[in-house]
Chain A
Amino acid sequence: MHVMYFTERPYRAVPNDEVIKNGFFGIPNKHFDSEKGAILLNEYLDEKILAEELGFDGVMLNEHHDTAFCMGSVMNVEASILARITKRVRIILLGNPLPVVGNPLRLAEELAMIDMISHGRLVTGWVRGAGSEQFATNANPGFNREYFNEAHDLVVQAWTRPGPWRYEGKHFHYRFIDPWALPLQKPHPPIWIPGLLSPETVVWCAQHRYPYIALATFLEPTVELWNIYRDAAAKEGYQVGPENFGYLQKVFVAETEEKARDLAKWDMFGGAGIGYSLFGKPQWMFPPGYNSKDATRRVARQFSDPAAAKGSPFAGGNGGAAKDNDATAQERIAQSQIDVRAGAWGTDHIDIEATRKQIFDAFPQVERAMQVICGTPKSVIPKIRKVLEVLRPGIFGFWQNDGPISSEARTQNIRLLAEEVVPATREIAKELGLVSPFEVKPGLRKLPASGIPESVGSLAPLAS
């Protein structure tokens, strides 16, 4: 198993009242103080050095724009620094938002330099960017998927095809491609794709034999999604294994149960469970043309019947997977995400105190759904085992508490994880045969003689 450390690099000084009113995206940047930003950005780099020292295999970065949720607006800058100041860990970029970057050739050069400076420790990945990112960078959402596909193909070619050559595409045009920055890893760095269970992306991953990393998604639809990957892989002629899958899990540990839970609940303002209802208002999360027709149909159903999002608009929970008995697996998967992200439909007038209470009141539910695992190192290990038994991922990311908690509490979490939880996690992974993409190359397993592919994940362990 490949074990990595992740944090969003939140601007933790953001007033929570503003988050409740706006969601993270769209908070006026008068609330941003560069003095505090300078301290925090350095602190997040230091955390990664610590994670390396204490034995994590990788440090993961992502990128968001115009939001206190994540200060990593240009994650290649952070990755470049990490390439030099770390020595051993993999630098895992999940992912560069291809449609909003605008210049895929420059991206290919940046990543190649990071790979060389880190002596071949880069793992690169691509995302479409959240809906809000299309506004923050003025990337036309109507071409989001087209940009993604074309930019991906171009970057991989720029790394592998001897130059100079000329490129005339639909959205990108280069008269001279001959980069003198090529990756150290050949033919190119590993590519992993993170996501929130878009079936279209998962099928694309299976076709390209790229591991798919589910970002703290609900367990039930994640297993269904693994099966969609499994079937798409079978069409490509291979059997999936743990090496095809990764999972990012919120884990927060402290010396006592009480302390852990008391701090962990602040992660409700940092991406835990409800994170995507607070991430941004619907008009920014669903820009026109950003979604496929199928996805738009699901949004339309949700939008015309806001009551379908049961309970508090900010409550987490997996209502979608349970309520649509006759929907296809793919529809249920997307629906459950929409239920969460679309929680704030039409809430123009928000009672801040009542909403804050709702947010914290939802924490036990988030914990029950294992969106957050918290406790002492000893008490969280059986829960992690359950997640590993259900999803059987070859890549496992520990997602730091990104709420407004102290630096000391974060550091203590990293220490306790590394010293007590990570070793146990490795043992469990070994026992379960959870091999990483570095141990077994994704896409090389043979299908069973019957031609019927075997599943990787299973909901059965949840019943026990």
Chain B
Amino acid sequence: MSVFKTAIVLVALAGFAFVAFLFWPRFPTVAVDADFRVTDRAVIARGGYITAAAGCVSCHWDKEGGGTPFAGGRRIASPFGDFISPNITPDQATGIGAWTPSDFLRLMQHGYLPSGQPTFPSFPWGHYRHISQNDALAIYAYLMSLAPVSQAQRGNELPFPLSARPAQLVWRWLFMPASVDVTDRGAYLVHALGHCGACHTPRNALGGRQSDRLLEGVTDQSGKVLVPGLTASTGLGNWSADELDDFLTDGFKPNYDTVEGEMALVIEHGTSRLTAADRAALVAYLKSLP
């Protein structure tokens, strides 16, 4: 065999090995607390609160199509194609009823589905991985306490090769932002649960969040603001803490115009349900951003 032919065979083998590497299912190690009980009422109640703060229902509910909360089916448009949110009620066949607590943690903390395949970044696990294990399991207990809804998952409408889940691993390797410090309660509510940056942090051409421009908002090429920034210099500078707290409670801006678009859902299902202390912490954190 000539050197040339050997080289071709080696390159082909390397390519095959790389694809196999990407397709190989992954099951990162997670450790569920030994005393976790999915039916614990106190845990379920806390989970309801955490689930609201995490804004799950805004995406996992096809409200306009007359769907059931948490049963998914909502179309989420992106520049890369349309995602259809999955059913996260505990239905065995069409929901997450068959998921174990470990399955759930693997998704929340590492972004892998029970099949071992990576989730798409439309599921904001890059934020959710900052959620404490206690809180993540509380969300699981809450979701498992819901009435199961049988609603089959419609497929995402993505072009190839983006539709191939293994391609996500390459994307992750290139674009997954570094972790952020969420020891402050407000930072935890903003970055971990609220995943505000999913919309309010600008992204690069391939959809990667620009972590050096955290919460600075999104503008188009002409400079028109598409998503307002949440830092003082990019959007909230003229808002007092009081005005921001009011806005996140009742949806009225400082000029008493009503909130619109996705943020209306965030307020209705999320921030308006926070305790006054949590909302104040969230506001204080946002107001601390320069």
A is bound by B? no
B residues apposed to A, CB below 8 Å: none
A residues apposed to B, CB below 8 Å: none
